[in-house]
Amino acid sequence: MPDALNITASSVDPQLLSLPWSTTLAEWPSSAIVYLPKGISRHLVRFASLSGRVIAVKETTAEMARREYDMLGNLHRLDVPCVERVAVIAGRTDAAGRPLPAALVTAHLKFSLPYRALFTQILRPDTATRLVDALAALLVRLHNVGFFWGDVSLSNTLFRRDAGAFAAYLVDAETGELHEGGLSRGQREHDLEVARTNIAGEIMDLEAGGRLEGGVDAIAIADGIVSSYRSLWAALTESESFGVDETWRITERVQRLNELGFDIDEMSIDTTADGTRVSIQPKVVDAGHHQRRLLRLTGLDVEENQARRLLNDLDEFRARVSRLGDDEEMIAHEWLTRVFEPVVKSIPWDLRAKLEPAEVYHQVLEHRWYMSQACGKSVPLAEALTGYIDDVLRHRRDEATLMGPPTDTVSLPVITTGSIPYADQADDLDDSIDWRDLV
């Protein structure tokens, strides 16, 4: 290992030193590479294994690597969905002493996929719309904290399943800028136009490759991010006026934002001099309303739509057991131990990398609903779980960590690294379940 090698990281993993930094990424041996589906990038990216987890390595200049490393750290502190930074590797040289590019190392986001790997053959219109909506929500969150992206695209985003929708995570922050005073309308509109243009090109690329369902309008899909973004931005930021006898609309506004998954930290309320009108405007809006409530009640850290679905099931459980006087935390613990955990622990070990636990639970509930509709009566959860495992889950590809041919998309059967998406505690090995609880 060259003496000049410099590693910048909040905590250095000694295993970083074992990677072949004296070789360009293009020439890394197959023994050092984990083959994952990846998006289109202006830089060469390789995936590698590091202490039991997967990392992404991108070659760039030392200045750009450090800048992006710092930016990802700032975004993480602002609680923005983005990949986790690991290290910057600078001072690289080859065996002859010739300088090599610096490298930015980030953690691979488990259960996430680039947009091109979210479908095997053909992109359907509804899938494209959900991807664009997820990207619009991410862009709103970024703009809300004053982040100007500069290169918004599906390719610079990773997606995780979120109870029938998708959650989007920023991958490439290379062109990004943080503005403490917030963004101007022109900056937001510029990001939005870049997003529309890039998405149109990405969808047209799929169309040229015969991977777009017939009749799908790539321009219409791209235009969708504009309408979706503006609708959400308006809901979060626009002021609202009403009569003093309609103050209930303040509560309605808060509830509407909560339903969208946002919390209000501060609200500006102004009245007219004659006291006939009231104006309100949210000042600071934080995403993750349902996530925070579920985390507080159960300790489960999941996506927003998954949290909403699990909370609905928790509320139904509370109504079913109907013990007056029990507080919400006690009921939540009982639901977690009697319902959620038994479902997750019943998933066979060889299938646990298919989907993350919260998504599995959501899909089990969906499967139960369809079975009940078909049967004309309520199907027990245990029966629905068995049917879901045999008829649905076994036929899905693994999404915890995909390994396959070194291509941009997945079209062949894949092999999982064997990582378990559920918690790593030893008590997860307890497969004893009282099936009477799963009703």
Q: What is the pLDDT of residues 92-121, one digit of tens each?
A: 999 899 999 999 999 999 888 888 877 656
Instruction: Answer yes or no: is 166 within a domain.
Output: yes
**Exposed (0-12), middle (13-18) or buried (19+): which is 129, by Cβ within 10 Å?**
middle
Residue 419 lies in a domain: no
Residues 196 and 83 in one domain: no
pLDDT(173) > 50: yes
What is the C-alpha separation between 116 and 407, in angstroms, rounded? 11
Flag whether 390 is in a domain: yes
Over residues 246-253, the mean pLDDT reads: 82
Count how many domains the chain has.
4
Residue 405, pLDDT > 50, answer no
Asked whether residue 426 is domain-assigned, the answer is: no
Helix runs in 288-396, H state only: 289-298, 304-321, 328-335, 341-345, 357-375, 381-391
CA distance 132 to 199: 8
Give the residue-averaged pLDDT of 355-375: 91
Question: Could you tell me if 172 and 60 lie in one domain?
Answer: no
Q: Are residues 266 and 308 in the same domain?
A: no
Mean pLDDT score of the chain = 83
Instruction: Of 283, 237, 289, 243, give the one whose Cα is nearest residue 263.
Output: 289
Please indicate, yes or no, if residue 356 is contained in any of the structural domains: yes
Same domain for 121 and 230: yes
Q: Evaluate whether residue 417 is within a structural domain.
A: no
Domain boundary among 287, 316, 346: 287
What's the residue count for the chain? 439
* Domain CATH number, residue 75: 3.30.200
Per-residue confidence (pLDDT) for residue 341, from 0 to 100: 94
Q: What pLDDT score does 38 carry?
A: 63
Residues 61 and 137 in one domain: no
Can you say how many angstroms the Cα of residue 152 is from the centroid of all Cα atoms in its chain? 16
| 71, pLDDT greater than 70 | yes
Residue 251 tokens, joined: 């509560």
Residues 6+ apart with CB under 8 A from 194: 149, 150, 151, 152, 153
Domain that holds residue 357: 302-411+431-437
By percentage, how much of the chain surpasses pLDDT 90?
A: 48
- Whether the pLDDT of residue 236 is over 80: the answer is yes
What's the confidence (pLDDT) of residue 400?
Answer: 57
Per-residue pLDDT for 413 more than 60? no
Residue 295 lies in a domain: no
Please name the residue ranges forming H helices in 174-321: 185-208, 218-237, 248-259, 289-298, 304-321
212/131 same-domain check: yes
Instruction: Over range 214-232, report the average pLDDT.
Output: 90
pTM here? 0.78
148 within domain boundaries: yes
Q: Are residues 89 and 150 in the same domain?
A: no
pLDDT-derived band at 83, boundaries 50, 70, 90:
very high
Residues 266 and 378 in one domain: no
Do 118 and 233 lie in one domain? The reply is yes
Same-domain pairing of 168 and 202: yes
257 and 229 both lie in a single domain? no
Q: Which of 32-46, 94-108, 340-354 is the least confident region? A: 32-46
pLDDT at position 403: 37
pLDDT level of residue 240 (50, 70, 90 thresholds): confident
- Average pLDDT for 360-384: 91
Question: How many CB atoms neighbour CB 232 within 10 A?
Answer: 20
Residue 74 shares a structural domain with residue 136:
no
Two tokens at 178?
């943080």
Task: Name the packing angle between helices 381-391 and 357-375 (round to 10°).
Answer: 110
| Residue 425 pLDDT | 28
